[in-house]
Structure formats: C-alpha cells, structure tokens
Amino acid sequence: MQNDRLAKGGRIDRTRPLRFTFNGRAYTGFAGDTLASALLANGVRLTARSFKYHRPRGIVGAGVEEPATMVELLGADASGNRPVTTVELREGLAARSVNCWPSPAVDLGAVAQLAARFIPAGFYYKTFKWPNWHLYEPSIRKAAGLAAAPKSPPVGGRYETRFAHADLLVAGAGPSGLMAALFAGRAGLRVMIADEGIEPGGALLSRRLSIGGRPALDWVAETVAELEAMGNVTLLRRATVWAYREHDYLLVTERAPDRTGLLERTWRVRAGHVITATGAIERGLVFGNNDRPGVMLASAVQSYVNRYGVAPGRRAVIFANNTSAYTVAADLAAAGIEVAAIIDSRSDVPAEARAAVPGLPIRAGYVVTTAHGGRSLRGVTVAPRDGGEAERLDCDLLAVSGGWNPAVHLFSQSRGTLRYDDSLASFLPGDAAQSTCAAGAAAGAMELEAALASGAAAGASVAGVMPPDTPTAPDLAYAVTPLWRVESARGKCFLDLQNDVTVEDVHLALREGYATVEHVKRYTTGGMGLDQGKTGNINITGTVALAQGVPMQAVGTTTFRAPYTPVSFGAVGGLRDGPLALPYRHTPLTAWNIAQGAVMYEAGARWRRPGYFPRPGEAMQDAIDREARAVREGVGVYDGSPLGTFEIKGRDAARFLDHIYTTVMSTLAPGAGRYGLMLSDDGLIFDDGVCFRLDAQRWIVSSSTGNADAVHRHMEMLLQTDLPDWSVFVTPVTAQWANATICGPKAREVLADLGTDIDLSPEAFPFMSLRDGMVAGLPARIVRVSFTGELSFEINVAPRHLPALWDRIMAAGAPHGILPVGSEANHVLRVEKGFLSLGHEVDGTVDPYDLGMGWAMSRKKPDYIGKRAVEIRRATGKMRHELVGIIPEPDVQIPEGAPLTPGGHRQASEGFVTACVKSVAQDRWVGLALVDDGHARHGEMAHVRLKGGKVIAVRITRPCHYDPDGERLRS
Amino acid sequence: MMLIPCPFCGPRTESEFAYGGPVRPPRPDPATTAEADWVGWLTEVPNPLGPVEERWCHLRGCGSWLTLWRDTRTHAIVGGPQDAE
C-alpha cells in the first residue's frame, strides 16, 4: 500500500501502476517514480546498512548525490551499487540493498557497530599489514559489502558508442542550460544539450516556481519543444556528461535511448565550446547521529513532495543555515505535512524568509545536536547554538540544508581553477582552462531569475550575439552562513555517509600528520565512495579549516575526477565487445586448420594459429610429441605466414640495416641472408630477425610475429626523425606473402617431389639464402632459414595460392609421413635448439652477451644502435642473468617463470626458468633459464623453488640441447 | 583525449596516434663522445613542467611521425608540428 503517497500532485502517472520488489518484498509505484520515491511512498524508511559500521540508513537525497542507499539490480539487466535515487522504476524491477545480509532490518553484520569505537580511520592500514594485506583481503572484502559485479553481461540489449562534434555542448537542461541552448540554437549553432534526468527541467521539477508569470514547467515544456524542433540542436535525456577531457573532449552516456535494443549509448563529443549548467548540490549538516533513516536533504524532501507526490514523513523538523530550506518548509505545509519547527543556526533570519513560512515556528540561533531513533527517526534534540538548555522535539523527518555547492565537477575536470566565495560559502568556477564557462547555479547564480539570465548570457556569448532579455522569475533570495559542524553535537557525526567517515576520523588523521585535505581523503577514505562526496566533501574541508584555523581557500578541495557518476563497463566498451574488441587476424589456412581439428591459439599480434592437431582421443602432450618427432625424424610443415615481414629498399637501405642490426648486413650478396639482433639505444635486445638481400637496394627483413608493429614504428621513427636524409623506404609485407615451411631431414625430397625449377642441392642453395622460382606450378620465393634446427625450406607464395600449395605439400609429403605442425611443437623444437623467443628469453632486460650471442655483436662496425651502451654496461663487470640450458633431475616438468634460488632456499632468486618442454630428441624434460653468472656454471646443479616450497634440482648445461654444431639445419 | 594536428591529415583525435616520447638531443657521435656524456644522452629525458617537445606517430592514419610542443600542465599544443609546406 502506498500509504505515504499524497492524495494529489507530482509528475507521476497514477493511471500506470508498476509492480516491483525490494529485498524480496512486493510493492507498487507509478510511472514517473524512481525506486527511491516508490519505496518512500510505500513507507519503506530503512533501506540500507552502512559500509563499515553497518548502521541503519535510509534515503537521503533524490538524485545523483545520494550517499546512503545503494542497491543491486537483479535479473536480466543485473548491475551493482546503483544509487537508489537514480533507478527509474519499471514494471518487474527487482532490487536489493547492498552492505547487509540477509536484509537491512536483520543485518548480521550490524555487530560491527559494537566494535565501532575500535575501528577508527586507518584501522585497516595499521592492523592488517602482517604478513601482508592479501591474507585478510578476501574476508574483509566480503564483510565490507557493496554488490559484486554481475556474473554475466546483461541480456536483452547492447551498448554502443557514437562520435559527435558540436559547436556547443551544454551539460544540464535546467533553467540555465535550457536558456543557453535556446539562444545558441536560435543563432544557428550546432548545439548538443544533455541532461541526466528522466525529463528536462532540473531543479524546476522539484519546486513550485513561475517564469514570466506562468508555471515554470510550462516554460520548460515550451523551450524543450522549440529545441527539439531545431535541426541543429540535439537534446539528450537520461544522459550524463561524466568526463571532461583534454581539448574539449567530453563523454556523455545516455541510458536506455528511445529506440529499443540499446541499454546505453556513449557519445564521444568534441565540442567547440562547453557550458556547464550542472546546477548545485545541497550539502548535509554535521551533528550527532546525522545518518539516521529519516534525516534527509531538504531539497530531496521538496522533490519527493512536489515531483513525486510522496510524504517522506508526517511530522517534520527543518534544520538549516540558509534561506533555501524555507521554501521546503512552505511546500511541506502546503502538502499538509506538519512542520514542527525550523531550526536555523543563524541568529538573524532574513525577513523575506520568515515571510515565506507564515505561521511556522522558527528557532533562530538554534542547532540540532543529535538525532534520536534507531531504524527510523523518532526525534531530535535542539539547543541554542551558543549554549543553553536543550529540548527534544518529536519528528519522523528531519530535512537538513547546509547550503549549496555549485556542481563544479566538470569545470574542475577541465582543469579550470576554483575559488572560494565567502558570501556563498562554497567553491565557484574560477579561470577556465579550456573553452568552458559555467552558467546558472553551477556558476553561483542561485536564484531562478539570475540563473536564467546567466544561461542566456552564456549561450549568447558563445553564439556571438547580444544577450537577450530574460523573463521575470521570482525566487527567495539565497543567503547562507556556513555551519561546517555542530560543535555541541553528541553521538557520531558523519561527514561521509557512504564510507562512514566521521568528524573524529578527520581529527585523528590531522593528529597523525595527514595535514592536507588530499591526505585526509586518502587516510579516512572520506569522499572516496561511489557518490564521490557530493554532499559531504565541503564539510570535510570545513572541518579541516576549523581544526587548523585557516580559511577555506587555503584548505581547498580534493581533485574532481571523472566519472561524475558511476559508469558501466558496457558503456565504456560500447560495441568493442567479444570478437569485435580486438579482431583476430587469419592466414589463408584457418579454415583448413579448423577442419583438421586443430586447437587454435593466438600467436602474437592477434594471429590465429594452430596450437596442435590432436587425433581423436589423443592427449595434448602425445600430439605435440608426434608433431615434433615428425620434424626431427621425417618431415613436417607449418604455416609461417604471421612472421613479421618488411621490404626495405632505397639507396641507403644496406647502411640502415647495418645501423639497426648488430651484425653486418651490407656485405651480403644478392640472394644471401644473415641473422641479426636489433637493440634499443640502451643496449638491450628489442627484436631478432633475418635480412635477405634481393638486389643492390632491396631487402626482405623479418621480425618477431608479435613485435612487427613495434619494429615498424621503430624503423619509421628513425627514418622520419633521426635520419631524414637517408633514402630508405619500409613497406610491411607480412600479409602480402604467405608461406608453408617444410622442415625435417626429408624436406628436400618433399620439395623436389612438388616440382620446382630451383636447384635444391646444398651447394647451389645453401643455408641462409633465398631463391625465386616456380614450386608446384606456382610462382614462389624459397628461403632457407630454420626456426626448428632442421633442414627447412620456407616457400613463400601469394596468399591466394597458399591453400593450393598446402594441399600439394600434404599430398607430396604423404609417402614420407608428413604432419602439420602447430605452435606447441614449434616451441619444443626451438627450445631444444636454444633459439630465442620474444617474451621468454628476450624479456627487455638482456643483451646479446647475456644470451651467449656476443658473436652477433659486430666489432667491425664502428657504430650501430645499442653498441656503445652494451660496451659501457659490460665494462662495469656486474653479474648478469645469463642464458643456460637446464635438465631437471628427476625428469619432471617445471612451470615457466619458476624462480631459481640459491640451494632452493627461501631467498632472493638468482634467476628463472624461461621455458621447459618435453624434448623428443632427448626423450625427457629440458628447459632454458636465465641465471646469475650462468655461463660459468655449466655442469653445476641449481635449484628451482616452486610455490609452496617444493624444490626441484636442475643441471645447468649450455643452452642447446640438440645438434649444437648446427649440422642438420645446414644440410 | 587530445586533438593532435597532423601536418598531412589535419586535426585528428589522440587515439589515432602513438606516443613517441620527448625529443632528445641528436644522437651523439660515439667516436668523439665521452662515456659520461653518452650515458647522459641515454638516460636524461626531458620532463619539464610546461612546454615539452615530443613526438607522436599518426599510427592509425598516414603513419607519419610528427614533432610538436605540448604544455604538460594543460595539454595545450603550443607549437608545431612542422608543416609539410
């Protein structure tokens, strides 16, 4: 029963009841309700438990400022930690409170309240640090509550992103934002105006005001209609401008845009100008037990009464330090709700304010010292501010107003400065850093007529037209005298309801030396909740200022960061989801591989590649063994197309390769190639590859698969910035060539059987050379390189020819038992040979000598990238990690990355295992490792220490477990 | 998300670019440079509070590297890039 629904009024549709559940109980509300207003209409006051102490909490605000009640939405569009005041009611909505179990009324975590005095700020930092935080984290996280992330993405909709350009972006469609958009739109600017609310109007929706002698909402409706009729204006509803980034780039997320099938749409807007017409947010007051359910922001009370037709209480007390709450008292009285008293901390109440509440009792110079009641408010104790006799007033609603903070979040995000204004007792936008200006209450124009004029002036200024006249709009003059906290308060005085931060916590932080407001924030967590302290941060600044005896401007604010309100991951990702997030790259053989039952891997740079080809019922390791053995004993073939490939040409190409590789390339004859290491300026290995000379000025160069883009960028940067007068052109041709690499002792026979006009004899076509010709009737380039340690022919063809070539190879190789080879077997073969792999042995910390490849460092060349740095570093003689082979004894697998420690003791590591494979050549597990001073330790034993303390002894060997002289690959 | 002026493509959004770091002095001649100076060139990277000359690559565009001046306090692009003309 909606017992607390007023008989009439509100912008709800009483003909459209909506059913919903909260914490498992069924209720009804109306279209136009938020979950918060519907709960209040149903008399639900206890809606949450607090984060740390599990104190009972209710609904405090009416919009994005809500600090107390977060809910988790259940069902198809599950999402966690939504402020209850921002959840639009819909049929079948199911929600539950966070931070409590099983319910806010029966919360087993509430025992924390008993221990509250032992959990001051910094308690967790001080207490749960030995042996480390991670031991305690899981159970503390569980106790701390907040909703978990949904287990699966929401169904029944998707997210998308749009890009937009606008001459003017207006954030907020309250009175000033609408005015700004109206005059800029009329002047012909491309205007985008976004408002976070269900409908435009901002604060006008919650108040009873007039513009030009007619109801203000009539003016809103007319203005919205005019804006929507303009082709150059885009009006977004339910759309929050949540980030203001560099160069006037803003992010706007629109919830449930009109067309079906979209959950949220994020607009990425580059604006010529931005007007932040974001309004103002009311702040709370700080007194004892100021968190009891029934203590609400006065503006929220006004919103529930006027906009939603809800009575949040039957007997109200108002507690304020400013005039705005007097309009709330008047609206409550008009709705038939008893106002027991207006407690005003100021001694002098303006006559205009008194006149707004005829007949209501006003206690000037009084404060509320404490609120009474547990799960709901039962009364308050009031006393003269300067001391005197206290008195208890019964009430079930306390509407508090500590004044108003202009919502400077976006302005501050844009890096504009803030200045403290004494007359408004709040921070206002100062100097703009981008094409930004604030308008309306966000600029400190707190009364309606001033806000309208401010918006009109801002819009006209951007449009370059004369500021128009704006209509009359009477409003109670705003006057405030700050009251950062009630000093005679009794009970816990909360500054940040969401994170349970009290005045005592701030004082503790100051005593312990956290003397700036940024440090206070981090130590107490004040302002670090989902609400980002929208109602409470100013009181923290005030509390610090009072304690330190310095002005507010000197204390300042904490940094306003994006997002302004919580944003879902889906809204950030948009359509970049699943396979679209980072599309795979395919070679021409993906379909064949999948048809053969290959288990597909990613082989760096998003290339899809077969990992191994299991036969029915065959275990993974057996399949890998079979493929690797085929290469060692017979013949195998793999698709090497993803390998990064570049064509480099130009007068200075040879000189350039000499500059970027450690070996001498320029002496190569056409058709010959050489292996080289590419170093960074600091003398560490960046990549390795082979360079083949095609003719005097043309080369083919390879790079690691996953590093191809970085190598390309590196070469281009050198050529474009450091060496602009060198005549060299780099063309990535990775996808212009596809290849099948036949490898194994029988590779030459298979290639001969395919039919080729190239002389395959070792004398005519030696290792590390390249020949162009015909293979199996297809134009091809054969390269004799080897990544397996066996005789290999890399047959490069146009990608469209690869499937045909592949079929011919499989047919020609069948009599020799040819097998397709996946990347797992390739890994076994390269580890047996001690060949490098980027990300394994080459991890950005090693130089060529560390890997036993000092021979690749040319001494002939006076200079090349990295040479000097390697020399300087090696001259220090410091111990280095050096590459070795390891043989586990006993014969067991060792996980990649496992540390080696001296004697296997619990000590700092002396190296780590980079790879460990089941060798088919040795029929046992072998590996590679980077170990301190490894080259001098061949033959010694070392020890791998696994998680849990298990120790495995390994024999250190040279880093080549097979054919160390390379006779087979040269054969 | 900055708007970076590419000399070939015009103003383009930052996500099309890769950052290339601040511009260091030209690479010295190793034959005539003392070890300490070489180490200095290698390790001392400009990091001013204010305008810094830096490189960007229009990676998802024309592929060109460009040099501009960016104010590290405001992200305002205060100079460059050198125009093609």
Q: Are A757 and A777 in contact (CB under 8 A)?
A: no
Query: How close is the nearest chain B Cα to the Cα of A101, in Å?
Result: 42
Spatial separation of the C-alpha atoms in residues A856 and A665, rounded to whole Å: 11
* Chain B CB contacts of A574 below 8 Å: none
In B, minimum Cα distance to A244 occurs at B1
Residue A910 is which amino acid?
E
In B, minimum Cα distance to A867 occurs at B30
CA distances in angstroms from A960 to A634, A940, A951, listed in the order given: 21, 16, 24
Answer whether B45 touches A (CB < 8 Å).
no
Instruction: Judge whether A948 lies within some domain.
Output: no
A594: domain CATH number is: 3.30.1360.120
Cβ contact (<8 Å) for B59 and A869? Answer: no
Spatial separation of the C-alpha atoms in residues A348 and A362, rounded to whole Å: 11
Instruction: Judge whether A567 lies within some domain.
Output: no
Out of B30, B55, B75, closest to residue A246 by CB: B75
Out of B20, B38, B59, closest to residue A872 by CB: B38
* Chain B CB contacts of A717 below 8 Å: 20, 55, 57, 65
* Chain B CB contacts of A433 below 8 Å: 74
What pLDDT score was predicted for residue A111? 64
Cβ contact (<8 Å) for A863 and B30? Answer: yes
Same domain, A192 and A256: yes
Domain boundary among A786, A812, A829: A829
Same domain, A778 and A820: yes
Cβ contact (<8 Å) for A872 and B35? Answer: yes
What pLDDT score was predicted for residue A124? 66
Report yes or no for ipTM above 0.85: yes
Tokens of A425: 């007792």
Query: How close is the nearest chain A Cα to the Cα of B50, in Å?
Result: 14
Answer whether B72 touches A (CB < 8 Å).
no
Q: Are A433 and B74 in contact (CB under 8 A)?
A: yes
Phi, psi of A229 (to 5 degrees): -80, -10
| Residue A779, strand partner residues | A774
Same domain, A397 and A321: yes
Q: What is the DSSP letter of A719?
A: I
Domain boundary among A732, A766, A790: A732
Instruction: Judge whether A546 lies within some domain.
Output: no
pTM: 0.87
Out of A245, A863, A867, closest to residue B1 by CB: A245
Q: Which of B75, B77, B78, B82 best tests the A interface by mutation, with the highest count of A CBs <10 A?
A: B75
At residue A392's C-alpha, the angle toward residues A388 and A398, to 5°, is 110
Q: Which of B1, B17, B45 best tests the A interface by mutation, with the highest count of A CBs <10 A?
A: B1
User: By C-alpha distance, which of A478, A460, A479 is closest to A469?
Assistant: A460
Cβ contact (<8 Å) for B38 and A246? Answer: no
Cβ contact (<8 Å) for A717 and B55? Answer: yes
Out of A681, A716, A869, closest to residue B65 by CB: A716
Spatial separation of the C-alpha atoms in residues A486 and A493, rounded to whole Å: 9
Spatial separation of the C-alpha atoms in residues A42 and A30, rounded to whole Å: 11
Spatial separation of the C-alpha atoms in residues A470 and A365, rounded to whole Å: 37
Instruction: Judge whether A878 lies within some domain.
Output: no
What pLDDT score was predicted for residue A23? 93
Burial A479-500 (b: 16+ CB within 10 A, else e): bbebbbbbebbebbbbbbbbbb
Full set of structural domains in chain B with CATH: 3-26+44-79 (3.30.2270.10)
Same domain, A626 and A763: yes
Answer whether B80 touches A (CB < 8 Å).
no
Same domain, A244 and A182: yes
Out of A247, A713, A868, closest to residue B38 by CB: A868
Query: How close is the nearest chain B Cα to the Cα of A298, in Å?
Result: 39
Query: How close is the nearest chain B Cα to the Cα of A863, in Å?
Result: 7
Q: Which of B41, B53, B74 best tests the A interface by mutation, with the highest count of A CBs <10 A?
A: B74
Phi, psi of A318 (to 5 degrees): -105, 135
Cβ contact (<8 Å) for B63 and A716? Answer: yes
Same domain, A608 and A751: yes
| Residue A876, strand partner residues | none
Look at strands A158-171 and A191-194 and give their pairing: parallel
Cβ contact (<8 Å) for B35 and A245? Answer: no
User: By C-alpha distance, which of A642, A634, A673, A631 is closest to A830?
Assistant: A631
Cβ contact (<8 Å) for B26 and A722? Answer: yes
Spatial separation of the C-alpha atoms in residues A278 and A177, rounded to whole Å: 8
What pLDDT score was predicted for residue B85? 35
Out of A270, A720, A862, closest to residue B3 by CB: A270
Q: Are A173 and A181 in contact (CB under 8 A)?
A: yes
Q: Which of B2, B15, B42 best tests the A interface by mutation, with the highest count of A CBs <10 A?
A: B42
Spatial separation of the C-alpha atoms in residues A112 and A94, rounded to whole Å: 28
What is the domain extent for residue A675? 644-732
Q: Indicate the SS3 state at residue A340.
A: strand
CA distances in angstroms from A219 to A64, A184, A209, A696, listed in the order given: 25, 17, 11, 79
CA distances in angstroms from A359 to A71, A288, B58, listed in the order given: 40, 29, 70
Same domain, A186 and A292: no
* Chain A CB contacts of B3 below 8 Å: 247, 249, 270
Q: Are A65 and A282 in contact (CB under 8 A)?
A: yes
Spatial separation of the C-alpha atoms in residues A554 and A830, rounded to whole Å: 64
A234: domain CATH number is: 3.50.50.60
A666: domain CATH number is: 3.30.70.1400
Answer whether B18 touches A (CB < 8 Å).
yes
| E strand residue ranges, A805-895 | 819-820, 881-889
In B, minimum Cα distance to A250 occurs at B1
What pLDDT score was predicted for residue B81? 76
Cβ contact (<8 Å) for B57 and A713? Answer: yes
Q: Where are the alpha helices (DSSP H) in A145-233?
A: 175-186, 216-229
What pLDDT score was predicted for residue A383? 97
Same domain, A749 and A629: yes
* Chain B CB contacts of A245 below 8 Å: 1
In A, minimum Cα distance to B67 occurs at A721
Same domain, A354 and A432: no
Same domain, A650 and A638: no
The strands making up A644-649's β-sheet, listed across from edge to edge, are: A673-679, A685-695, A698-703, A644-649, A729-732
Q: Indicate the SS3 state at residue A71.
A: strand
Q: What is the mean pLDDT of each run of 10 residues along chain A (971 residues)?
A: 92 97 96 97 93 90 95 84 93 87 69 65 67 64 67 80 96 98 98 96 97 97 98 97 97 83 92 98 97 98 98 98 98 97 97 96 97 95 95 98 97 95 97 96 98 97 94 96 94 93 95 94 91 92 95 93 92 84 92 97 90 97 98 97 97 98 97 97 95 98 95 95 95 96 98 97 97 97 96 98 98 97 97 93 94 95 96 94 96 96 94 97 97 96 94 96 92 89
Instruction: Judge whether A924 lies within some domain.
Output: no
How many structural domains does chain A have? Answer: 5
pLDDT tens track for B28-84: 999 899 999 999 999 999 999 999 999 999 999 999 999 999 999 889 999 877 643
CA distances in angstroms from A98 to A23, A57, A66, A209, A494, listed in the order given: 10, 11, 14, 37, 19
* Chain A CB contacts of B55 below 8 Å: 717, 721
Q: Where are the alpha helices (DSSP H) in A847-945?
A: 867-875
At residue B39's C-alpha, the angle toward residues B35 and B42, to 5°, is 140
In B, minimum Cα distance to A866 occurs at B42
Q: Are A280 and A274 in contact (CB under 8 A)?
A: no
Query: How close is the nearest chain B Cα to the Cα of A723, in Å?
Result: 10
- Beta-carbon contacts of A270 under 8 Å, excluding residues fewer than 6 positions away, are A163, A164, A165, A166, A247, A248, A249, B3, B13
pLDDT at B9 over 50: yes
Instruction: Judge whether A345 lies within some domain.
Output: yes
In B, minimum Cα distance to A865 occurs at B27
What pLDDT score was predicted for residue B40? 94
Answer whether B35 touches A (CB < 8 Å).
yes
How many CB contacts within 8 angstroms connect chain A with chain B? 53
Out of A249, A713, A869, closest to residue B42 by CB: A869
Instruction: Judge whether A888 lies within some domain.
Output: no
Tokens of A838: 């980027």
What pLDDT score was predicted for residue A133? 63
Residue A485 is which amino acid?
R
Query: How close is the nearest chain B Cα to the Cα of A268, in Å?
Result: 10
A23: domain CATH number is: 3.10.20.440
Cβ contact (<8 Å) for B30 and A717? Answer: no
Answer whether B59 touches A (CB < 8 Å).
yes
Torsion sign, CA atoms A306, A308, A309, A311? negative
Interface of A with B (CB under 8 A): 245-247, 249, 268, 270, 415, 433, 681-682, 713, 716-717, 720-722, 862-863, 867-869, 872
Same domain, A173 and A251: yes
Out of A247, A433, A682, closest to residue B3 by CB: A247
Instruction: Judge whether A319 lies within some domain.
Output: yes
Spatial separation of the C-alpha atoms in residues A934 and A884, rounded to whole Å: 6
Domain boundary among A829, A854, A883: A829
Same domain, A298 and A392: yes
Out of A249, A682, A721, closest to residue B1 by CB: A249
Tokens of A280: 């103002």
CA distances in angstroms from A767 to A191, A590, A781, A961, listed in the order given: 67, 30, 14, 21
What pLDDT score was predicted for residue A148? 76
- Terminal alpha carbon distance of chain A: 90
